[in-house]
Structure 1
Amino acid sequence: MEDKIIADLKDSYGLTFNKITPVIGGLLNQKWKLSTEKGELLVKQYSIKRFRREQIERIESALQRQIILGKNGVSCPFLWQCEGRIIRWLDDETIYMVMDFCTGKTENADTITIPQMRSLGSTCAIMHRAFSQVPTPSVRNLPVFGGYTTALLWGNFNSCMTKYSPDAHVEYRKALLALEPILKQLNTDFFDKFPKGFAHEDFHSGNILFDVDCVSAVIDFDRNCYSYIWHDIGRAILSFALEGNKMNVKKVCAFLEGYLQYSALTLPNIADALRLSWCIETPWWIRSEFLGNCDETPKRFKDEMLWLTEHWFEIDSLICPK
């Protein structure tokens, strides 16, 4: 940790500490766990290689919404503020924030239990209910990332088909060609049926902490924005119920049971949420660099998109067995 951050933690927050432990995780950003007289805290320094100034400002707005969620019953880290701001700009290269350190462990599709899955569903519904209390923007633009319209999806597909060379990885060519039958039957009004509002937009296994049977905290609200709220549902089902090449229906139903404690949802809704996740995330993960050897995290996301591509026309029968 830079000396200037250590000095600012003392001057701006009155924090002194005797132990700093690096925390692994987070693309290019740096994190540290601090042991202080006010409890265990997490310091996150944002990467200027990853984020431009306007992106950091959007994150500040997202974190202000997280504060509202915390006040409305969502289990998420308490964010420390200084002069009404969450993110501290010490200079153009040193940008950081402070939050309470949340305990718990991450789970995945192989390790999560049915009670944890039920808790995940109820936590997701509580989060969406709390987000609904946040004033919506006057100009309700969907985020610029992802395929949020059929036109964007076709544009991404045509661009990829134009750019890939004849000697491209065979799996990449196969993955691209498999997208076309889905795009051809995707109506321009496909997105009209999905409810809009603020969503977490990064609701995957790395951002949810569990204790023995329950969710202990939802973390990393940096990407929350006005979007399609069912993307959170589809992303959670993919991260926690897709076991290899098979969807665990018991886990899907447990999530549904939990969600229904606070908000309406059906199994056909979840099937549509999975298709929505395909539309949004395919441009992120069906890319040449992820169809060869790549890190485990993008490989998991890529495999999920390939599974959805293969099973697009039978998703309802897979999660809604008669």
Structure 2
Amino acid sequence: MGEDSTIQEQAILEDLLRACRRNWGWQVREVVPIKRGWMNLKWRIVTDEGDFLLKQYNRERYKLYAPDDLQFAFEQQSRLHDTGLPCPRPLAHQDRILLESERGERFMVMPFCAGELVPPGRGNTDRMHSLGRATGLMHRLLNDGSIGRAASGPQFRPPAREERLVHWDAVRAQAAAAGRGELVAAIERQRRTTETITLDAFKPLRTGWAHRDLWADNVLFGESKVSAILDFDRLKYDYPPLDMARAILSYALDETLDVLPAEAFVAGYREECSLGEGELTAALQLLWYLESPWWITAEKRVRGTPPERFAKEMEWMATHMERLRERLGHL
């Protein structure tokens, strides 16, 4: 990180701490940066009233959000906390959770949650059972009829196969023109797998309110169970089974997909929410159809970051799509 960036971050932090003192009267004793996430800044702040997470929304990334959608997501997170889901309850000031500082920085604050992150591919059966149950509870509560907000349809509307094939042809041509032969083969695999997909396979999947970012950076665990689900910023009306698929790819896929943690997740999920036979397999296919254009591109990949992990998942899915149902059986 450059010196200018460090100075800028410090100025943002001081601005936000002034807002926290003004809103809640805290005496801040310690501040610890949290280096996780994309573009947004986060800190653990230790105060005379307890420990909190302070999250700043990067001004460029904030343009991707609608403020009312964020406020709605935070309100649902609060409701989920109050009805038993392990997740922090965001703090409000004058009935607003998404706040703005004197210098125009958007931010939110919530209690700091204890627990540890489990690295991708390292979910054991106990933790996956707990995460499956928590995910089922979250879906059941989100879709219990309490939300009166109308939804015009799922957030993701799968494009026609022909449209996606045109996309892969263009990406492959870009990679070839740039001399990136190492990427051409990966792009070609995505294209070949796309040829095997029928959108009819996605029709039985349930629509409803979902978290939409249930991956390894957004779940904290205790010794054997979930201690907190985090980051509800992307909550929207979509396909809840995509949450299941994202969690299972995140935790059960290492060099190959470990079926035992996947089965444990499904067993936990079914304790709270119904799940049709083969629904997980269809959700994994839909997740690949959604995310593969995000992570398989004509550009050189950045090492050691979440995009590298996501690209690995998309490549595994494209390579093993035909055997997915055989591998997962009835799930």
Question: Structure 1 residue 4: deviation in Å?
Answer: 2.7
Deviation at 1:155, TM superposition (A): 5.3
Residue 148 (structure 1) aligns with: 158
Matched residues in 2 for 1:38 and 1:7: separation? 16
Aligned mates of 1:118, 1:232 — CA distance in 2: 15
Match 1:89 to one of 69, 92, 100: 100
The answer for the alignment partner of 1:269 in structure 2 is 279
| 1:255 paired residue number | 265
What is the rounded CA distance, in whole Å, between the counterparts of 2:31 and 2:240 in structure 1? 37
CA distance in 2, matches of 1:53, 1:313: 35
CA distance in 2, matches of 1:289, 1:92: 36
CA deviations 1:203-225 (Å, max 9, x no partner) are 01110000001000000111111
The CA deviation at 1:21 is 1.3
**Relative to structure 1, is the Cα distance of residues 155 and 61 closer, same or farther in structure 2, using a 3 angstrom cutoff?**
farther
- What is the TM-score with the length of structure 2 in the denominator? 0.88
Question: 2:192 aligns to what?
Answer: 181
Does residue 302 in structure 1 map to residue 302 in structure 2?
A: no
When the two structures are aligned, how many residues end up with a matched partner?
317
Q: Give the deviation of 1:158 after TM superposition.
A: 4.4
Counterpart contact for 2:154–2:208, Cα < 8 Å: no
Report the equivalent of 1:212: 223
Q: Partners in 2 of 1:40 and 1:180 — Cα distance?
A: 48
Indicate the larger mover: 226-235 or 83-92: 83-92
Residue identity opposite 1:280 in structure 2: L
Identity fraction in percent: 27
Cα pair 1:233 1:273 within 8 Å, conserved? yes
Residues 106-185 of structure 1: pairs in structure 2 closer than 5 A: 106-133=117-144, 134-135=146-147, 137-143=149-155, 148-150=158-160, 153-154=164-165, 156-185=167-196
In the superposition, relative to structure 1, how do residues 239 and 19 fare at CA in structure 2: closer, same or farther (>3 Å)?
Answer: same
Cα 1:158–1:63 shift into 2, 3 Å = farther
Shift of 1:87: 1.1
The aligned runs of 1:10-21 (5 Å cut-off) are: 10-21=21-32
Q: Cα offset for 1:188? A: 4.0
For 1:195 and 1:92, locate their aligned partners in 2 and report how far apart those are by CA, in whole Å: 43
Cα distance, 1:230 vs structure 2: 0.7
Check the 8 A contact 2:56/2:107 in 1, yes or no. yes
1:68 counterpart letter in structure 2: R
The equivalent of 1:75 in structure 2 is 86
Q: Gaps (5+ residues) in structure 2?
A: 1-9
User: RMSD over aligned Cα, in angstroms?
Assistant: 2.2
State the distance in 1 between where 2:215 and 2:134 align. Answer: 13
In structure 1, distance between residues paired with 2:322 and 2:152: 31
Q: Which amino acid aligns with 2:304?
A: D
1:320 matched residue in structure 2:
329
Provide, for residues 229-261 of structure 1, a one-character-per-residue CA deviation record: whole Å limited to 9, x for no partner: 1110111110111121x1111111111111111
Give me the whole-angstrom Cα distance separating, in 2, the residues matched to 1:289 and 1:24. 25
Residue 46 (structure 2) aligns with: 35
1:72-98: CA deviation from partner (whole Å, max 9, x where unpaired): 221111100011110111256411111
Give secondary structure in 2 for the equivalent of 1:288: coil
- Stretches of structure 1 lacking an aligned partner (at least 5 in a row): none
Match of 1:58 among 69, 81, 92: 69
Distance 1:56 1:114, change over 3 A: same
3-state secondary structure, aligned to 2:190: helix
Q: d(CA) in 1 for partners of 2:195 and 2:234? A: 30
